[in-house]
A and B are shown apart, each in its own frame.
Chain A
Amino acid sequence: MRVYVKFDFNKICKVVLREQLDAIGVEYELQGVGEISFKSAPTQVEMQKIADTLDPYGIEVVNDQQIALVQRIKDAITEWVYDGENPKRYNFSTYLSEKLDYSYTHLSSLFSETTYSSIENFIILKKIDYAKSLMINSEHTLTEIAYKLNYSSVAHLSAQFKKTTGLTPSSFQKIIRKRKERAIML
């Protein structure tokens, strides 16, 4: 025997939301589709709990503002790294908090929560990424690249390169060169 069922998705979602939010014990009101307003702003811990509880039901907490801000931090980092003049003028935390108009502490903790990385690590990653493309696509020597990216010396750049990639700049260059030769041969 087969029985057919019909779903009212909107109702299902509201019931699930009510049950779960009641169980967590926060005061809330369901607004239109997909919007919940809270009597008082939930703490980070409560927010995480809400997100974790709803996740198995395929309900995702969308936090667009945070995502947008993290993206702005990343853009600012890219600008900072690619414009070698900035680091000579001020330090990064001043630059970032002035540019985005939030305290550095706030930006830094938001970044770490959302990206599994820290701002400091991301700057290093971005610098090494830039160093790689300069090594591959330009005639710059390692000394020039180190200067351009504001490393105090080639040794410092090489050490950070090795720490980040597990490879020395010269073995990296050798691998990329061999890949190109191979691509031509094939």
Chain B
Amino acid sequence: MPLNTLNIALADDDQDDRILFKEAIEEIKIKTKLSLFKDGKELMDYLVLPNVILPEIVFLDLNMPIKNGMQCLSEIRNHDKLKDLLVAIYSTSSSEADIEETFVKGANIYINKPNSFAALKDAIEKVLQLNWQYHTSALNRDNFLLRI
């Protein structure tokens, strides 16, 4: 069955950022179905529900109350059902050490939160295009790393 819609999940505690992300993703040619979560806990509770359709990509804000992005990432990587999810960390930090650490701990994609709508759209588009190739072709997902 060929893939025709990408399921995307985003966890971000900032409402404005969630709205911007939603608007950006709607302008992209690739068809997506976006689920939004206010924090890491809400996302994780959803992902472990029985019969849930798992997203092709999870975008995680690094700094969130209750459960932050790193905690979610490590829970995802240690969960049998979730460990193969593609995870994109979405953060304002551009410190090399932070970036390396998130990759080492299992993130596939690191995005510096862009400061304009156009740049955000470009970044999301690049991620989705590349993910599309990974979901529809024989490319090795274990070493899929992308930094934007």
Contacts and interface: CB of A to CB of B under 8 A. Distances in A.
Task: Verify that A and B bind, or say they do not.
Answer: yes
B130 to A, nearest CB: 8
Contacts of B140: 129, 132-133
A60 B29 contact: no
Contact of A165 (B2, B29, B129, B147): B147
Interface string B104-148: 111000100000000000000000111011001111100101111
Contact of A116 (B30, B100, B110): B30
Contacts of B110: 166
A78 B138 contact: yes
A115 B105 CA distance: 30
A174 B97 CA distance: 12
Nearest to B104: A178
Contacts of B104: 175, 178-179, 182
A60 B132 CA distance: 19
A122 interface: yes
Interface string A118-143: 00001001100100110010000000
A155 interface: no
A165 to B, nearest CB: 6
B95 interface: no
A76 to B, nearest CB: 13
Interface size band for A: 20 to 34
Contact of B145 (A60, A126, A165): A165
Interface in A168-186: 171-172, 174-176, 178-179, 182
A167 interface: yes
A103 B139 CA distance: 26
Given A174-B100, A175-B103, A175-B104, A116 B132 contact: yes
B147 A125 contact: no
B4 interface: yes
Looking at B128, B133, B138, which has the most chain A CB atoms within 10 Å of its CB? B133
B132 A117 contact: yes
Contacts of A171: 100
B136 A132 contact: no
Nearest to B139: A129
Contacts of B132: 115-117
Contact of B143 (A74, A125, A133): A133
Given A115-B133, A117-B133, A175-B104, A125 B30 contact: no
A41 interface: no
B136 A175 contact: no
Contacts of B133: 115-117, 122, 125
A67 interface: yes
Interface of A: 60, 67, 74, 78, 115-117, 122, 125-126, 129, 132-133, 136, 165-167, 171-172, 174-176, 178-179, 182
30 contacts: A60-B4, A74-B137, A74-B138, A78-B138, A116-B29, A116-B128, A116-B132, A117-B133, A122-B133, A125-B133, A125-B139, A126-B139, A129-B140, A132-B140, A132-B143, A133-B140, A165-B145, A165-B146, A166-B145, A166-B146, A166-B148, A167-B146, A174-B100, A175-B103, A176-B143, A178-B100, A178-B104, A179-B103, A179-B106, A182-B105
